[in-house]
Amino acid sequence: MRPGKISLLYAAIAAVLLGLPGVSAADSMTPLQKKLNAAVVILAGQTEDGGLKMLCTATAFERKGDIYRFITAAHCVADDDTDHKRVSVAQTNWYVTFDEAGLKEFHPAKILYVGYQSRGDDFAILEAELKREIPVIPLAERDGEKGETIDNVAAPLALGKQLFDGHVSLEDLDRPVIKDTINWWHAMLLQVNVGPGSSGSAVVSRKQEAIIAVLVGNVSFRSSPNVVAIPVSKLRRFLKAVKCGKYEWFDEDGAGRSTNAAPTVNQLYQKVLNRFEKPLEIEPLAK
């Protein structure tokens, strides 16, 4: 047992024997985990009846003044219009919330860029103005390696932000895991707990203290889940292309308005559920 853990154990025993306050849950989190927890929000979309539906998780990775940018998954906000080879963003109002105890505060959010999922670019970038200062988690300079330890804060089933840890089990899924608009060829596999609503959450390397991937779903067979995340190298290529105006599958001004294929929030919610509740039936993985 490491010295730090022994100290915490003795402190907890002393607190019980002497009637002193115990070690708080916040003290059990590392500085990186505290930073990540504070940078994470839950993404919600406005439904047709005016309500809000919690969809996915997003993480702040850039800041300019009071404007923060968050990374999440494309399937949380859009569908592929495969007939026109374009991204089709749901036409609704978007909000982010820190989901703190007590009165919930929702901050309006704007979608900046969305990837074409059929290419494996399951990324979306949101922007929100906040009157509070929060940390940002930078993008890593390299992808994760097999065995690399990770932290993840997500809100599966909209039960609140939860802390998970695990490791990279495979750095490169070198086979065509493709079905409909899902394209997980050259994705990363993880061993970490997930559920519907974990989509879009950041996979953070403890070693790099940065985002190495974006969690998008899982492949399961006989109760043996393989969690899938899109690596940061692909995210960096996507961001470079859209910022230069060279990403042909997304038009910032016309996304979601050029066709009649724009999905509803309820359709997106079902899509998020399907990523985690139903196994992806891929022939090469059936045996």
Do 218 and 269 lie in one domain? The reply is no
Count of H-run helices and E-run strands, the chain: 4, 16
Burial 17-55 (b: 16+ CB within 10 A, else e): eeeeeeeeeeeeeeebbebbbbbbbbbbbbeeeeebbbb
Query: What's the CATH code of the domain at 113?
Result: 2.40.10.10
User: Which tens digits make up the pLDDT trace of 23-81?
Assistant: 455 579 999 999 999 999 999 999 999 999 999 999 999 999 999 999 999 999 999 99
Same domain? 129 vs 183: no
**Residue 195 shares a structural domain with residue 268:** no
Q: Are 223 and 240 found together in one domain?
A: no
pLDDT-based confidence at residue 258 (cuts at 50, 70, 90):
very low
Q: Tell me, what's the pLDDT at 259?
A: 55
Same domain, 195 and 85: no
Structural domain containing residue 92: 31-136+235-277
Number of domains, the chain: 2
The answer to whether residue 3 is domain-embedded is no
Domain membership flag for residue 5? no
Query: Both 184 and 207 in a single domain?
Result: yes
Residue 203 lies in a domain: yes
Same domain, 240 and 128: yes
Query: In this structure, are 80 and 215 located in the same domain?
Result: no
* Whether 250 contacts 116, CB under 8 Å: yes
